[in-house]
Amino acid sequence: MKFVVMKKKYILLAILAVISMVWLSLDYQGGASASVFFGVAPRLVPIYSVDTDEKKVAISFDTAWGADKTENIVKTLKEYNVGATFFMVGFWVEKYPEMVKLIDDNGIEIGTHSNTHPDFVKLSDEQMKLELTTSIDLINNITGKSVDLFRAPYGSYNNSMLNLTESMGLKTIQWDVDTLDWKGLSGLEICERVMSRVKNGSIILCHNNSEHILDALPLLLERLKNAGYEVVSVGDLIFHENYYIDNLGIQRKQEG
């Protein structure tokens, strides 16, 4: 009887150990990088933030609907002499080519946010590639510049998408600070939300036509400046070679 009790005890301990390993390997988006433990391919992760000792952060604008605030966003960015990145959907580029040119002429970085804003997880590789190539060509036809940054619609991704974007020379960019500006937060609420979460290497998510973005942006840039942060584009924040991305989406410099 004692042997049976001991055997049950060891089985229970083994089960708890497995559960603990799975739990500890879950990333903060809920993905199981522990898949390696079970003998399947690991879950790939895009860049959410950058590991850096420098007080640098990037501001990004998802650009899909509306353009009436875009010119003033550009003016504010230039007034504060900061960088930023606009992730543009193809149908927005087609509808507002003059805005694309304005953004590019002011030296502001442009990335793709797909062509029609679908959930990429629901697409085949061929459909994903068409979304990307079409949007990139639309941007290139206006700016004459290549595009090497991509943000997935809805922040939705899987291994197939990330393998494809890598093969196309695109870095997939998420964010670690969400302004929630699309929820109608006031400018002050947006600013305080960001400042309570921002850190070295953060990527801040905004939307170009959110209700109070023009109220929030000057407040935010002023507060970031006073806190000692340099605001740059995503391309100026991330590493472009000799790096790896950990299971939390933090891009880190590869040692050696």
Percent of the chain with pLDDT over 70: 84
Reduced to 3 states (helix: H, G, I; strand: E, B; else coil), residue 99 is helix
Percent of the chain with pLDDT over 90: 82
* Structure confidence at residue 54 (pLDDT): 97
Write down the catalytic residue from 113, 117, 207, 212: 207
Beta strands in 131-196 (DSSP E): 149-150, 171-172, 177-178
Q: Tokens in use for 94?
A: 């087609």
Q: Report the amino acid identity of residue 221.
A: L
Average pLDDT, the chain: 89
The whole-number average pLDDT for the span 82-100 is 98
Measured between alpha carbons, how far is 213 from 69 in angstroms, rounded to an integer? 8
* Structure confidence at residue 7 (pLDDT): 52
pLDDT in tens, 196-230: 999 999 999 999 999 999 999 999 999 999 999 99
The whole-number average pLDDT for the span 169-184 is 97
* Structure confidence at residue 255 (pLDDT): 84
Bridge partners, 230 (sequence order) = 56
pLDDT of 17 > 80? The answer is no
Q: Strand 49-50's sheet: what is its strand order?
A: 49-50, 250-253, 243-245
* CA count, 13 A, side-chain hemisphere, 204: 32
Measured between alpha carbons, how far is 247 from 172 in angstroms, rounded to an integer? 15
Active site residue 117: no
The whole-number average pLDDT for the span 72-89 is 98
The domain 49-253 is classified under which CATH number: 2.40.10.220, 3.30.930.10, 3.20.20.370, 3.30.479.20? 3.20.20.370
Write down the catalytic residue from 62, 113, 117, 176: 62
Active site residue 215: no
Structural domain boundaries in the chain: 2-38, 49-253
pLDDT of 24 > 80? The answer is no
pLDDT of 40 > 70? The answer is no
pLDDT of 32 > 80? The answer is no
Write down the residue that tokens 């543009």 correspond to.
88
Q: Is the dihedral of CA 108, 110, 116, 122 positive or negative?
A: negative
* Residue 42's pLDDT band (cuts 50, 70, 90): confident
pLDDT of 41 > 90? The answer is no
pLDDT in tens, 44-61: 999 999 999 999 999 999
Listed in sequence order, the residues at least 6 apart from 113 whose beta carbon sits closer than 8 Å to its beta carbon are 62, 63, 64, 87, 88, 89, 135, 150, 151, 153
Answer whether 108's CB lies under 8 Å from 75's CB. no
56-63/203-207 β-pairing? parallel
* Structure confidence at residue 5 (pLDDT): 45
Answer whether 252's CB lies under 8 Å from 246's CB. yes
